[in-house]
A = this chain, B = another copy of it.
Amino acid sequence: MKFVLDTSIFVNPEVRKNFGDNPTEAVKTFLSYAEKLFGKVEFYMPPGIYREVMHFVEGEEIRPAIELYIIKKPPNVHELKIPAFVVYELIEDIRRRIDKGLRVAEKAVRESVLDTDNVDNIIQKLRRNYRRALREGIVDSKEDFELILLAMELDATIVSADVGILTWAQKMGIKWVDSSVFREVLEGLVEKLEGKNL
């Protein structure tokens, strides 16, 4: 049994609270499960996700356990192939988002002319709306894409709370668990598998 882990488990406040009060505590809690499941369940992270997680935690508190229980591996991007219709839909989606981003930008320009004293607020709002138009719900980073590719390569289960990632996982026939229920899944696995020789 293999899981590919996203940062959201340890970093996203809504999800992380299941595991601990801060990212370091969350990783520690996770590692206590991973230790019990060692030899029965494998946990993976692609390099970009690993770097993101390490950026949020106190490294010395979780080493060397994290190196033992989380396998770092990049996907083999030169061997893997993506179904064309998934890329086709991605290109269509991006095109629509690009058009929407321009409308958001034009609206901000027209607002700022009518309210010249409020330009900083208008720019803040522009950033929020632009981000929503262009980035929310889409696989928009190589870190996210590596996660999907690695799960595909290993025939592993993706653990994520990201809508863009979960949408792609479903299009590409990849198993997934939502980060918000991952602690229960780990509890269940420990209960079922602990002590058994597989």
A149 touches B (CB below 8 Å): yes
A122 touches B (CB below 8 Å): yes
> Once the chains bind, are A113 and B119 in contact (CB under 8 Å)?
yes
Query: Shortest distance in angstroms between A127's beta carbon and chain B's nearest beta carbon?
Result: 7
A109 touches B (CB below 8 Å): yes
> Once the chains bind, are A92 and B130 in contact (CB under 8 Å)?
no
> Once the chains bind, are B91 and A80 in contact (CB under 8 Å)?
no
Q: Give every chain B residue within 8 A of A145 (Cβ-Cβ).
A: 87-88, 91
User: In this complex, what residue of B is CB-closest to A153?
Assistant: B84
8 Å CB contacts to B: which residues of A86-142?
87-88, 90-92, 94-95, 98, 101-102, 104-106, 108-110, 112-113, 116, 119, 122-123, 126-127, 130, 134-135, 139-142
Q: Give every chain B residue within 8 A of A91 (Cβ-Cβ).
A: 139-142, 145
Q: Quick one: copies of this chain in the complex?
A: 2
Task: State the CA gap A146–B134 with chains docked (Å).
Answer: 23
A78 touches B (CB below 8 Å): yes
Q: Which of A75, A109, A135 has the most CB of B within 10 A?
A: A109
> Once the chains bind, are B116 and A113 in contact (CB under 8 Å)?
yes
A83 touches B (CB below 8 Å): yes
Sort chain A's interface into a size bin: 35 or more
Q: Give every chain B residue within 8 A of A1 (Cβ-Cβ).
A: none
Q: Give every chain B residue within 8 A of A85 (Cβ-Cβ).
A: 77-78
> Once the chains bind, are B122 and A88 in contact (CB under 8 Å)?
no
User: In this complex, what residue of B is CB-closest to A105?
Assistant: B105
Task: State the CA gap A95–B130 with chains docked (Å).
Answer: 13
* Option from B78, B80, B140 in Cβ contact (under 8 Å) with A98: B140
Q: A82-B87, A84-B149 are in contact. List 5 more A-B contacts (CB 8 A).
A: A78-B83, A101-B134, A102-B126, A104-B105, A109-B112
